[in-house]
A and B are shown apart, each in its own frame.
Chain A
Amino acid sequence: KNEVEQSPQNLTAQEGEFITINCSYSVGISALHWLQQHPGGGIVSLFMLSSGKKKHGRLIATINIQEKHSSLHITASHPRDSAVYICAPSGGGADGLTFGKGTHLIIQP
């Protein structure tokens, strides 16, 4: 079973700050997903990456497959970024994802 560790568990920051959330996993994977869960409960997929780096707007995700580590960065953070961010490695098959417990991010104005 893939053990997934996210850090920090909770993060409070001021608007405009650069945010980094880290994810480490124990078993080699084919891809890793980053998900966002809004305060209302809905879950949205942000990224799926298997190597290198991806960027969507102010969000950047990186992965180092050899080191079994991924990071999610948010530039120029905004209160609307407040959410739980979940890391989910995948072995690449159809049998779903293994999820971290999430990082609860609060951005204060």
Chain B
Amino acid sequence: NAGVTQTPKFRVLKTGQSMTLLCAQDMNHEYMYWYRQDPGMGLRLIHYSVGEGTTAKGEVPDGYNVSRLKKQNFLLGLESAAPSQTSVYFCASSQPGLALPLAREQFFGPGTRLTVL
């Protein structure tokens, strides 16, 4: 099993360009997440999904859109990239628990390092 994979690993964009980050998991997990990690700050939740066809906003959703058309894939889009979106992006997935806590441990992808000039 590959676990959680992310494409691409690195990308440099110019301000105003668009791009899509792809996250794929082969563990049949229901829940998927996009986080960003910036120096001196903890990971922050951008968007998440609790199942195919569903998405919800996290702590820092502005400037990003997401889609979950297939259970195994979670896409993160930047329509018009800004330098403030320079960050390392992590995707994660987990399976719902049967009782509290409702979510189990999260499995993380290797990250995508994005630079916006």
Interface residue ranges, A against B (CB under 8 Å): 4, 30-31, 33, 35, 41-45, 48, 50, 86, 88, 90, 92-102
Contacts and interface: CB of A to CB of B under 8 A. Distances in A.
Contacts of B43: 86, 88, 97, 99
A41 B107 contact: no
B45 A94 contact: no
Contacts of B96: 94
Given A41-B88, A50-B101, A97 B106 contact: yes
A41 B45 CA distance: 17
Nearest to A42: B110
Nearest to B39: A101
A30 B45 contact: no
B108 A43 contact: yes
Given A42-B108, A42-B110, A96-B35, A86 B42 contact: yes
Interface in B30-79: 31, 33, 35, 40-45, 48, 50, 56, 58
A92 B100 contact: yes
Contacts of A30: 100-102
Contacts of B35: 96, 99
A48 B104 contact: yes
A48 B105 CA distance: 6
Contact of B101 (A31, A96, A98, A99): A31
Nearest to B35: A96
Contacts of A45: 105-108
A100 B48 CA distance: 19
5 contacts: A31-B100, A33-B106, A43-B90, A96-B35, A101-B41
B41 A92 contact: no
Contacts of B100: 30-31, 50, 92
A41 B108 CA distance: 11
A4 B60 CA distance: 17
